[in-house]
Chains A and B, each alone.
Chain A
Amino acid sequence: MSEMLQTVPIELTVNGRRRALNVAVHHTLLDVLRDDLELTGTKECCLVGECGACTVSLDGRIVDSCLVLAVEADRAQVTTVEGLAVDGHVSPLQQAFLDKGAVQCGFCIPGQLVAAHALLAERPHPTVPEIQEGLAGNLCRCACYQQIISAVLATAEGTAR
């Protein structure tokens, strides 16, 4: 496909569900998730890849969805915060965020959760510096960093070594 396009048909799998839609080439994955697919858990915030509020998993790796054009997600597997629940219940990680008081205003939490979920998938028992590095791309204006780290540690402790 090297003809010039303004809109492109794409197919992607979002939280396990196949979706097919036409996207404008200048719309981001974030735009399409929120406005076309109505998955508003993923938040729009800085739009320059610094805050991490728009973090989603793309083919198993976390990315800032504000910096990915929707057309680049053609044929990809996407997981958003809405995809973290297990059988309709909050995941152990989400429960730990609630238990540790990691959620204040809540705006950054979808991104924090997706990033922390990816970190734990790669390192089931991370150290505190590893958590800090793994979540360095997710800012929290309520400054709940200690509670967020506690929640990730608690989730790891609840996982068999």
Chain B
Amino acid sequence: MHTFAYARPATLAEAVALLEAHGPAARLLAGGTDLVIRLRDGTARPAVVIDVKQIAELRPAIREENGRLVISAGTVMTDVASDDRVRRSFPALAEAAAVVGSVQIRNRATLVGNVCNASPAADTAPPLLVSGATVVAEGPGGTRRIPVDGFFVRSGVTTLARGELVTAIELPLPARKLGAVHMRRTRRRGHDLASVTLCCAVDEAGVTRLAYGSVGPRPILMIDESGVLADPAGSDEAKAPIFERMFADASPSPRSMRASPEYRLAMLRVLGARALRTAIDRLARG
């Protein structure tokens, strides 16, 4: 591994100052499950690595605040997956966090890190999109709240500005009853990246939210307010054209080694239909 300078700021202000001073030559370190691999293989060659784990505001914590669930930047997947409030109000997010990597990875990888890497295959991205999550960023200009749908650009690229870091993810507690599920397709059971990752939520007002990833440069959110998809008695024929519109933006890369574009597009439709049925069932069961 090539060498770098290491900084362990104790305050957010120090971290922001370091980020502002070093710009793209600095990389943030939280769980390290992506960064350390990239430091070793040389695909990341930062002059400075800023370890954010000693910053009080970023310490692992999930708390309820003004009708939102706030997950701090230091919170690891294991704790997201096992938290009672996440499981109750955002079961699809808990399901997604529970399938990231292995136990060893989930004990280290943070939810915020998963979002900031902006991998198109990030398993937590679809449930965060469906839940209307907001990314809270701290920077030289103060605090900024960015809807997660406006955060992802493409793999490794987000709308964060120079000097900004993400301090938390906020999820509005659902006002309506809903049924939601996360599903994914991998080459093998256990520890693998998704060939398709998808989340579907249906609420009692008939709105269906569908988000999917690993089939294009960034995860995509689609919303159907017609009530057709959410109708438990609706026919597959009636739902098919709406599904097709929702999947129209999928454009899997032909260069990926995990799965061919044809396979991904076929599985996207299978998983989409399966997830919709599960979401409808869950809503009915309450």
Contact = CB atoms under 8 A, between A and B. Distances in A.
Tell me, yes or no, whether A binds B.
Answer: yes
Interface of A: 1-6, 8, 24-28, 47-50, 52, 55, 58, 61-64, 66-69, 71-72, 115, 118-119, 132-134, 136-138
A68 B102 contact: no
Interface of B: 1-10, 14-15, 18, 29, 32-33, 36-37, 39-40, 48-49, 51, 53-54, 78, 101-105, 107-108, 189-191
Contact of B3 (A8, A24, A66, A68): A24
B7 A2 contact: yes
B5 A4 contact: yes
Contact of B51 (A3, A72, A119): A72
Contacts of A68: 32, 36, 108
B104 A64 contact: yes
Contacts of A47: 37, 40
Nearest to A56: B104
A25 B191 contact: no
Given A61-B78, A136-B191, A49 B37 contact: yes
A25 B5 contact: yes
A62 B103 contact: yes
Given A64-B105, A115-B104, A25 B18 contact: no
A51 B37 CA distance: 13
Dominant secondary structure of chain A at its interface with chain B: mixed
A49 B14 contact: no
A62 to B, nearest CB: 5
Given A67-B32, A67-B37, A69-B36, A52 B3 contact: no
Contacts of A2: 7-10, 14-15, 18
Contacts of A72: 29, 32, 51, 53
Contact of A134 (B10, B39, B51, B103): B103
Contacts of A62: 103-104, 107
B3 A137 contact: no
30 contacts: A1-B7, A1-B8, A1-B54, A4-B5, A4-B6, A6-B6, A26-B4, A26-B39, A27-B1, A28-B36, A47-B40, A49-B102, A49-B105, A50-B191, A55-B104, A61-B78, A62-B103, A62-B104, A62-B107, A64-B105, A67-B36, A68-B108, A69-B6, A71-B6, A72-B51, A115-B104, A136-B103, A137-B103, A137-B104, A138-B102
Contacts of B32: 67-69, 72
A5 B104 contact: no
B278 to A, nearest CB: 19
A132 B78 CA distance: 17
Nearest to B5: A4
A137 to B, nearest CB: 2
Contacts of B33: 49, 64, 67
Contacts of B107: 58, 61-63
A26 B53 CA distance: 17
Contacts of A137: 101-105, 190-191
